[in-house]
Chains A and B, each alone.
Chain A
């Protein structure tokens, strides 16, 4: 058997014609279909598991072809499906049949952030007691960074409540939304993933901390967004929730 067997087979898996000596096998179409279906269904089911709220809002019959279209342009490149589909939100945004649900891409971004927070490295967050021992004058120069599970999203639609209701609670009928920026944080300080809306200034504050800025620099950036930004409260909230990295050395 020549070396082109694998590439010939891969062409068939992607929907092309079977070629090579084996293609004259009786019932070749049905036999190839087993492999083709397994490959595409593995990708579709991995995306369905990773984006359960998108699936719930659109239904299985809409989701499956949308997922298949993503797989055709973005097949898995790692040997595990757990985190497959990093670019799915962009695909949803550009997927023409989904244009009647313009906020669906933001729902996908929330599902993705939840998945990434779930499987992020384990680490003890910076709790209030961690900084209690520090001298107050040290705090402005403290640059704690964010806990490795934290994902701060800047959404184009205010979909956090809709996402949360469909994913974890009882959806309250049809929701009419108008486009409006909304910031959301997803984080897993210990076992469970949590999410919360953020003010625009809080989101900037956390973004800057995540980029390595000190508390004073991050506060200054947040004050540009909101002159009434309360840095002490934002820092306290971050310590209470567990947004910050615990290793302060």
Chain B
């Protein structure tokens, strides 16, 4: 089967358990994404595996540690580790989050919520600018999975749109986060999509979610521990029919299945992307 010329490809997130399978995989256009924080070590086999895999497949770096939405400026040492990884692995794309994770030198290792306020916007734009300037690259910023309203002065789409305008960053649209946030905070994904600068979206993420242990389906949690839900596939189809196809990642961090299982989900994502580029492909 020949691939449509203009269709972007689907990728999967890469975990050390899948190094060998990923190295050997020969799927057309397969790309892989890692958290750079897991490769910020001085030496050893983890870096060498990624060297070998990078020689076979395109790579993207998806950061979780810069705390761009925090009160402080990005940690300069962490930025230097980013620089070294970019030099070594030459990633196709780099991304970070609208989130914070550190305060007073303590790292919480979670993506914590940013209040949608003017003051937070000023700081966030400053920090995105610092990151892009030091790395000499455009950064894609991912929309958060939200569970709380924090005295917001503007909505999330407005916050992100303003960040794009001021910093020239791009966006990473996590469709699972968009679905969860709309569900949890009773908003409309279509409204979000209409207010976002769609041309700035450079990558899409798809992941699994689960109902909260206490509140059930009333509160959905972004666990990355299950397959992509049908509701998220449906929203993904709507999104790419409206904005066009983008490189799309199957993201999985917990309850890790086999690499082949993730590749099967990737194939489904690829068929969606191909159907937008070449509508008859979906029915072939």
Contacts and interface: CB of A to CB of B under 8 A. Distances in A.
The answer to whether A and B come from one shared complex is yes
B44 A21 contact: no
A46 interface: yes
Interface stretch (B23-31, B145-153, B161-169, B264-272): B145-153
A46 B109 contact: yes
Interface in B92-122: 100-110, 112-113, 115, 117, 119-120
A22 B106 CA distance: 23
B276 to A, nearest CB: 34
B106 A25 contact: no
B90 interface: no
B42 interface: yes
Contact of A6 (B70, B109, B218): B70
A82 B40 contact: yes
Interface string A26-40: 011111111100110
A76 B103 CA distance: 11
Contacts, number: 125
The range of chain B's interface size is 35 or more
Interface stretch (A113-121, A128-136, A178-186, A206-214): A113-121
Contacts of B44: 118-120, 122, 188
B108 A39 contact: yes
B37 A81 contact: yes
Interface residues of A, number: 46
B17 to A, nearest CB: 11
Contacts of B70: 6
Nearest to B69: A6
Nearest to B102: A79
Contacts of B219: 27, 30-31, 34
Given A1-B115, A6-B71, A119-B46, A76 B106 contact: yes
A83 B106 contact: no
Nearest to B110: A38
A13 B108 contact: yes
B103 A80 contact: no
Contacts of A235: none
Contacts of B38: 80, 82
Nearest to B78: A79
A175 interface: no
A39 B151 contact: no
Contacts of B151: 1, 20-22
Contacts of B46: 118-119
A162 B117 CA distance: 56
Contact of A119 (B43, B66, B102, B117): B43
Contacts of B214: 29-30, 33
Nearest to B106: A75
A22 B107 contact: no
Contact of A79 (B37, B115, B149, B215): B37
B120 A119 contact: no
A77 B106 contact: yes
Interface of B: 37-38, 40-48, 65-67, 70-71, 75, 78, 100-110, 112-113, 115, 117, 119-120, 147-151, 153, 212, 214-215, 218-219, 221
